[in-house]
Amino acid sequence: SQELEQSPQSLIVQEGKNLTINCTSSKTLYGLYWYKQKYGEGLIFLMMLQKGGEEKSHEKITAKLDEKKQQSSLHITASQPSHAGIYLCGADGGAGTASKLTFGTGTRLQVTL
């Protein structure tokens, strides 16, 4: 079965600082999803990556998938308190969006003033 390991497990950054979260898969990734969750709430979709070397950006968040499709990173530029939450990477089973997702271990982000 596929396993996703995220690092770091938790992160505290000062507002305005940049940060990177990594997601490493035990198998080749077909589709890699990034979600944000506030504790006790649902998931907010951030981005999906499929192709090796792909990079997508939305506002101050950039996600990349490496050429070998086994590692992804999420980079936040000039962090704000609104970025605080739990970031989860998820991988589908290869059947696209209709497939169940395996989630990473999660990264808890706190942004201090």
Partner 1 sequence: GAVVSQHPSRVICKSGTSVKIECRSLDFQATTMFWYRQFPKKSLMLMATSNEGSKATYEQGVEKDKFLINHASLTLSTLTVTSAHPEDSSFYICSAPPGRGRDTQYFGPGTRLTVL
Q: How many residues sit close enough to partner 1 to count as binding (CB under 8 A)?
A: 22
x/- contact string, 3-42, with partner 1 (CB under 8 A)? ------------------------------x-x----xxx
Cα→Cα distances 58→40, 52, 84, 108, 113, Å: 24, 19, 16, 20, 23
If DSSP codes are grouped into helix, strand and coil, which group holds residue 39? coil
Residue number, 15 or 41, with CB nearest to partner 1 = 41
Written as one letter, the residue type at 104 is G
**Interface mask toward partner 1 for 86-105; x: CB under 8 A:** --x-x-----xxxxxxxxxx
